[in-house]
Each structure stands twice: as C-alpha cells, then as structure tokens.
Amino acid sequence: MKTEFADVNETRKNVRVEIPSDVVDAEIDRIARDYSKKARIPGFRPGKAPARVIKQRFKDQILHDVAHDLIPRAMDDALRERGVEPVDTPDVRDVNIEEGQPLTFTASFDTVPSFDPGDLATISLRRPAVAIDEEAVNGALQRLRDRAARHEPVEGRGVDHGDTVTMDLDRTDPNGATDTHKDVSVELGAKANPRTTRLGSSPTPTSRIE
C-alpha cells in the first residue's frame, strides 16, 4: 500500500492512499461470491450464476461494498504506520475503484498540535504549609462518633442531659390545632431541643413543655 502525507497547516493533514490492485480484486471476488449465494439470476439456479455475470449485474453495489470494507482498514494502517492520531473521523473523498486497478482515495483530518514543554527540571515548586486546626479536627471526630453511635436502653436511673428519649409528641399551635408525631427520638438538652431539659429527671407518662 502506498501513502503520501502532506501538511495543510500545523494541525490539518492530507493523505493520499493507493491500495494494490491484487488486494482490490481479491475483495471483489469475495464479495461477488457472497452475492452469488443470494442473487436470483434468470436462467441460472440459485448460487450457480458465473462470477462474471454476478460482477456485471451487481457491479456498482459490489464496488461500493469493496470500498466500504477496504478504505477504513487502509486508513487505520496508514495512520498507525505514520504514528498519527486524528482528533476526528477523516474526511474521505476522490475515491477511484475499478476491477484490475488500484483503489485510490484522499483523506483529510485534524491532529493535536505538537508543542515543546521545555526543560521541566528548571521548574521549582514549593509545597504550601498547611495549618491544622485542632478544634476542627476534634469536631470532625466527634461528628463521626455521633454518626456511628448506637442507642442502648438505660435502667435504674432517671433521664439525664444527653440522653435520647423516644416519645409520642403532640404539638399544639396557638390556635389549638394539634400535630401528632409517634416514636420521636429527642436528645435532652441538645442545642436543637433546649427546652427538653424541662422534662424532668424521671420518665413520666405525660410531660408538658411550653
């Protein structure tokens, strides 16, 4: 296979490819055999029509299929041998194909521009100092502990600050409407629930918080 590369500009390239005639003819014969197995030609039994009849009757379709098979393979080989990697699908044009003749075509494509990064050994980097906030670290650790904590039942004493109590909660607004919540878990004395410290030290059937 012959290839001729040309630079259009820094990133755009053209390549002209010529596929040998023996490769083209072998592919024509292969595809013609496939057509022969399926084609119905008057005067011939299925699969018995001579190759020359198949090639004449389906010439355009066969040549189209040959080009469709050979051109992508030829482009891949040409780019690999050249060590070129296009950034998009090459634009193929000027396709010429005939039995007994080489298949020729031209393709254009764009590549990533080359550049010289220079001598990286001359570049010095300084790692910035990182201040560790002990309070922030402790806070993060405590949040991890709280997230992994499990509630255990407590017996033999009353409730205490920091205990989590499970209760049924009735909330009454100033208009007297009541909103009921079942099995609510409340941490006594937590910032989100400051009034729960008024529940007292011993569980009772009913407590009121205002």
pLDDT at position 99 is 93
pTM score above 0.85:
no
| pLDDT for 128 | 87
pLDDT in tens, 130-185: 888 888 889 899 889 878 877 777 777 777 777 777 777 777 877 878 888 887 77
pLDDT tens digits along 6-49: 988 988 999 999 999 999 999 999 999 888 887 778 878 777 78
**What phi and psi values does residue 102 have, to the nearest 5 degrees?**
-65, 150
What does the pLDDT read at residue 202? 57
Q: What is the set of domains in the chain, with CATH numbers?
A: 2-110 (3.30.70.1050), 154-210 (no CATH)
Model confidence at 192, in pLDDT bands (50, 70, 90)?
low
CA distance 75 to 13: 13
Dist CA 202 CA 108 (whole Å)? 86
pLDDT tier at 200 (50, 70, 90 boundaries)?
A: low
Dihedral angle at the C-alpha atoms of 113, 114, 115, 119, nearest 10 degrees?
160
Confidence of residue 75 (pLDDT cuts 50, 70, 90): very high
- Give the model's pLDDT for residue 207: 63
Handedness of CA 143, 144, 148, 149 (dihedral sign): negative
pLDDT in the model for residue 78? 93
Q: What is the 3-state secondary structure (H, E, C) of the chain?
A: CEEEEEECCCCEEEEEEEECHHHHHHHHHHHHHHHHHHCCCCCCCCCCCCHHHHHHHCHHHHHHHHHHHHHHHHHHHHHHHHCCCECCCCEEEEEECCCCCCEEEEEEEEECCCCCCCCHHHCCCCCCCCCCCHHHHHHHHHHHHHHHCCCCCCCCCCCCCCCEEEEEEEEECCCCCEEEEEEEEEECCCCCCHHHHHHCCCCCCCCCCC
Query: What is the per-residue pLDDT across 105-124, written as a single tens digit (0 to 9) for each?
Result: 999 999 988 777 778 888 88
The gap from C-alpha 207 to its chain's centroid, in whole angstroms, comes to: 57
Residue type present at position 47: G
Please report the pLDDT score of residue 190 as a whole number.
66
pLDDT digits (tens, 9 = 90+) for 81-112: 988 889 889 999 999 999 999 999 999 999 98
Mean pLDDT of the chain: 83
Residue 17 phi/psi, 5-degree rounding, is -120, 140
